Structure 1
Amino acid sequence: MSLTLLSPPAAEPVTLADLKAHLRVTHSDEDALITGVLVAAVRAVEARGGLALMPQQWRLTLDAAPEETLFLPLSPVSALDAVAVIDGEGAPQTVAASLYDAVLGKTPRIRPAGPWPLPVPAVGGVRIDFSAGYANADAVPEQLKLAVKILAAAFYENREAAGERRVYSFPQTVDALMAPFREVRL
């Protein structure tokens, strides 16, 4: 199973101005650095929480059709864009929507409702393309925006790599802010 970003977000959920206000930075000398730590913080929050904060498209590639319910690895999911199997000529063949049930939103999943066509390649023969992320920056929950700001501030203040005397750890406040948005599966 692999996950590939097809279309990255066009913007970040926190603006440079908002982050600079959070950092109490009034000059523009470090705007490039602050933008970099902002992007790094957003990607870290997304990766740690299995989240997509802004609209983006992804492809989940599987070796075979799911036999049971398959939970998509990111949330929230707003659309299932395409479900396909690869045929003998290497072309994607759409799986009819009647052959699966899909649930979108915070706990996105897809469950087969009938037998899917068999993919010809033994590896990577099933593709599930989906759109994930909140509709826009205004729709991103404030707790997640605050998690991004706190993590970006930690990155900004601690620019050195971890070493003998310094160990990097994810701020507990960020984990606490993200907790309600994480999917717990038993």
Structure 2
Amino acid sequence: MGGTMVAILVTPPQAEPVTREEAKLHARIDGTAEDAKVDALITAARLDVESRTGRVLVTQGWRIVRDGPPAGGIVRLAPGPVQSVDTVTVYGADGAAEVVPAGDYLVDVASTPGRLKLSSGRFWGARALNGLEIDMTCGYGDPADVPASLKQAVLMLVSYWYEQREAASVGAVPAHVASGVTALTAPYRMPRLA
């Protein structure tokens, strides 16, 4: 079995990894006229850093939807870092949902990416399409818990996009900025899931 896997954002972060004030100080922006623009750039920069690393920065809720359990019963969990697996639901061939008791799976949040091991043979009756859902809490925690280099990458992108409005409209990042962002985010890049 196995098939495709999709990760869906269920609960967005309640805060950004850097504050408007931090971003304005870094980009040397005075006054409040550009606050809405700065806020939008912070969100765009966070999403860029999350995309580059395969990690989410501030606590978020995510759902993995799979066609069924993979061979061996081990599901790789992304995005990372995984704080907890909150619910595992299996949909039978008849479409009926069954919440799996926590004792029927093991969670490894120490690995990168995290892993979930289903009890062997227990779930092979899942329906062929979207038969397995895993709800999890991901991220480093609060903004204070986000690694400094990832915050710096967000600030670098905000500053560049603020100064280069045309580049921001298309999400462009020139080589000199990209190399700085890559250097800051490289240690955090998660291996791509197969």
Q: Do both share a fold (TM > 0.5)?
A: yes
The list of structure 1 runs, each at least 4 consecutive aligned residues, that deviate by more than 6 angstroms after superposition, is none
**Residue in structure 2 matched with residue 138 of structure 1 by the alignment:** 144
1:70 aligns with 2:75: yes
Shift of 1:117: 2.6
Query: Partners in 2 of 1:100 and 1:66 — Cα distance?
Result: 14
1:115 maps to amino acid: G
1:56 aligns with 2:63: no
Query: Partners in 1 of 2:51 and 2:70 — Cα distance?
Result: 24
Deviations 1:118-145 (A, max 9, x none): 4553211100110001121111111110
Q: How does 1:32-47 map to 2 (within 5 A)?
A: 32-47=36-51
| Closer, same or farther: CA 5–184 of 1 in aligned 2, 3 Å | closer
Query: Partners in 2 of 1:98 and 1:38 — Cα distance?
Result: 40
**Residue in structure 2 matched with residue 116 of structure 1 by the alignment:** 122
**Residue in structure 2 matched with residue 79 of structure 1 by the alignment:** 84
How many residues align? The count is: 183
| Closer, same or farther: CA 48–62 of 1 in aligned 2, 3 Å | same
- CA contact under 8 A between 1:50 and 1:73: conserved in structure 2? yes
Query: Partners in 1 of 2:85 and 2:126 — Cα distance?
Result: 23
Shift of 1:183: 2.4
- CA contact under 8 A between 1:60 and 1:127: conserved in structure 2? yes
2:155 maps to amino acid: K
- Point out where structure 2 has 5 or more consecutive residues left out of the alignment: none
Calculate the TM-score normalised by the size of structure 2.
0.85
**Residue in structure 1 matched with residue 162 of structure 2 by the alignment:** 156
Query: Partners in 1 of 2:140 and 2:54 — Cα distance?
Result: 13
**Residue in structure 2 matched with residue 171 of structure 1 by the alignment:** 178
1:12 maps to amino acid: E
Moved more, 94-103 or 139-148: 94-103
* Identity score, percent: 37
Shift of 1:147: 0.7
Shift of 1:185: 6.5
Deviations 1:43-79 (A, max 9, x none): 1111111111111100000001122332212111101
- Point out where structure 1 has 5 or more consecutive residues left out of the alignment: none
**Residue in structure 1 matched with residue 187 of structure 2 by the alignment:** 180
